[in-house]
Chain A
């Protein structure tokens, strides 16, 4: 028996779950909501060799741009409506803060 399209099947044994791109997306969203920013279009993220790039928009028409470095725990930078970043930090730091008790 020969199989086609099976090159990734060993890799597919890995526990089903999210990848880093999902983590970057979730972290970006949690930062935005934590800062009281009204999101109209939730950021969608893509992955490239250089890292992660996310785009979305706010209810008052501002563009949301976020980037994540090409690391296992990406450094995230978020800019809303141009200008200075509103956030710089690590993906896992944001995810942990969202999942864990604050005190």
Chain B
């Protein structure tokens, strides 16, 4: 640690030892050792490809060679200097998680039968891997934990950011599972009857769903999906353990954390379905009753019809299931509040949201992540209707003021939101309460006025995508980085590292991450085996286009260059080393199970 004097080094060791309850010798040895690139496996070393057909149209997955970082100089205007790799230093190494879509697949509130009405339109209502989302999430956390030391610079993971759609169906249970998985708290992803799956994948009426016990009579069996006896019971009866994230993590709202099915408002009467004892298998019955709950919301006659139907047991198109009050649907602020029920490590409590957010109802936040970077967690979700988003004017003004202040504070700025530039055009509003909404063109133009905003990191489309937004004066611009998802193929997330090249440029290294489960599923029904199966199932989505979702080679493992927005020599080597020492001490505490800290 050449930037620190001996006295400063000893003081750093003493301080970190006290803060993290790690012996001084351990801290000192760790800090004194050279920081080479981290071990672990990412898509730099190994990637996954869709393999040949093995049964009908069904394909399995195979390994293929990894992908090195591809330099992108869209915002430099010229090829980058070759010498930049010789003396670079890391300013922040972070993980990006998005669109995890944790599901309680047995919830009566789900819209699965709608795929029978129009599979392409309602494809998000049912996927064959719906019972396996927590298994995938845990495997993804494992992957991030394996890469807690950067493979590029050796820097410790400094933070993780979750950009929405963490739950799938506005469910308090789903939200709790996602938080617990990221915190490393064991869960059993079941609701209703203990150890018993009650849902559409087990009923004879649901020809439109995959029946792992016997798919011969359903759409998926015709495609070639396999028979996997015991899968549903394994999915809901085993404890799922994740190692927990090794760094503080921050969260923003997604449309699935805001609206029912990420798209629809939730009538008060519909909330009773979620905790009730009927689950639909017929789409006409589901839609009829959903519409009925709207009528119940707005008229006395509607409420009477709703009440009579319930009392007389008029429940065609549905089956009896075990009711569970834990399945209650979230109110708008419940998502924020849930983030305060969390383990103290890795923290922070609230995961970006603060008591001020709870008190005011403001759903966006900012936080300093280390000494050099300020993160802005935005809420781009429309609270009325529609999956796409926009930015309310007040929030946009808040952001621009925040970027200006960050520049004065010599902070690089990162923007985090659920929606991306292709999905910010939603104008839905109540006629009685019109909103002033900012859409993509204005949003980007406004952010580009602040050169310290170097990246906008988001999700929503489930496709790896990296776009460059250049300032018209040739002074650089903004990198927009969209990661895929944990639910649809390729089920990838990413790590991103901000590196100072010490030549007037910055590099943002993006590395796609596959979750830590076997590439080829071998019949294993343990949680890690189920994660592997989920990825294989997702590769066979004939309605969507799995090959589109992997993105191009310029959307996965890249080195995104841009001009440094200010003279980075104001960030001293001593400051960088002190920050990394803090991170390395945190990694040591994590590896010790957070037990003493």
Name A's interface SS: mixed
> When the two chains form the complex, which single residue of B263, B384, B468, B553 contacts A13, counting CB atoms closer than 8 Å?
B263
Residues of chain A within 8 A (CB-CB) of B77 are: 40
Chain A stretch 67-103: residues in CB contact (< 8 A) with chain B: 92, 95-96, 98-102
Does A48 sit at the interface, judged by CB under 8 A? no
Assuming the contacts A6-B386, A16-B460, A17-B462, asked whether A38 and B79 have C-beta atoms less than 8 A apart, the reply is yes
Measured between beta carbons, the chain B residues less than 8 angstroms from A10 are 121
CA distance A16 to B50 in the complex (A): 22
A23 and B276 alpha carbons, distance in the complex (Å): 42
Is B51's beta carbon under 8 Å from chain A?
Answer: yes
Nearest B residue to A14 by beta-carbon distance?
B121
Q: Tell whether, in the assembled complex, residue B552 and residue A25 are in contact, meaning their CB atoms are under 8 Å apart.
A: yes
Please state if A100 and B50 are interface contacts (CB–CB under 8 Å). Answer: yes
| Chain B nearest CB, measured from A70 CB (Å) | 18
Contact status B428-A6, CB under 8 Å? yes
Question: Would you call B548 an interface residue if the criterion is a C-beta within 8 Å of the partner chain's C-beta atoms?
Answer: yes
- Closest residue to A31 on the B side, CB-wise? B552
Q: Which of B184-192, B538-546, B565-573 lies at the interface?
A: B538-546
What's the Cα separation between A26 and B550 when bound, in Å? Answer: 9
Q: A30-B552, A98-B552 are in contact. Are A3 and B545 (CB under 8 A)?
A: no
Q: Which residues of A contact B387 (CB under 8 A)?
A: 12-13, 16
Residue B31 interfacial (CB < 8 Å): no
Q: Which residues of B contact A13 (CB under 8 A)?
A: 121-122, 261, 263, 387
* B549 in the interface (beta carbon within 8 A): yes
A100 to B468, CA, bound (A): 27
Min CB distance, A37 to chain B, in Å?
Answer: 12
A4 and B431 CA atoms in complex are apart in Å by 6
CB distance A42 to B548 under 8 Å?
Answer: no
Are A18 and B548 interface neighbours, CB within 8 A? yes
Decide: B549 and A17 in contact? CB cutoff 8 A. yes
**A33 touching B554, Cβ below 8 Å:** yes
Chain A residues positioned under 8 Å from B72 (CB to CB): 39, 42
A33 to B124, CA, bound (A): 33
Are A9 and B386 also in contact (CB < 8 A) when A3-B428, A41-B468 are?
A: yes
The complex places the Cα of A25 from the Cα of B426 at a distance, in Å, of 24
A-B contacts besides A5-B426, A22-B465, A98-B547, 17 pairs, CB < 8 Å? A4-B428, A4-B430, A4-B434, A12-B426, A13-B121, A14-B120, A14-B121, A15-B543, A16-B460, A17-B462, A17-B548, A22-B463, A30-B553, A40-B74, A42-B467, A42-B468, A95-B547
Provide 9 A-B residue pairs closer than 8 Å at the C-beta atoms, listed in order of the A residue. Answer: A1-B430, A4-B429, A5-B428, A12-B426, A15-B544, A38-B79, A59-B73, A59-B78, A95-B548
| Interface of A toward B, CB cutoff 8 Å | 1-6, 8-10, 12-18, 22-23, 25-27, 29-30, 33, 38-42, 44, 59, 92, 95-96, 98-102
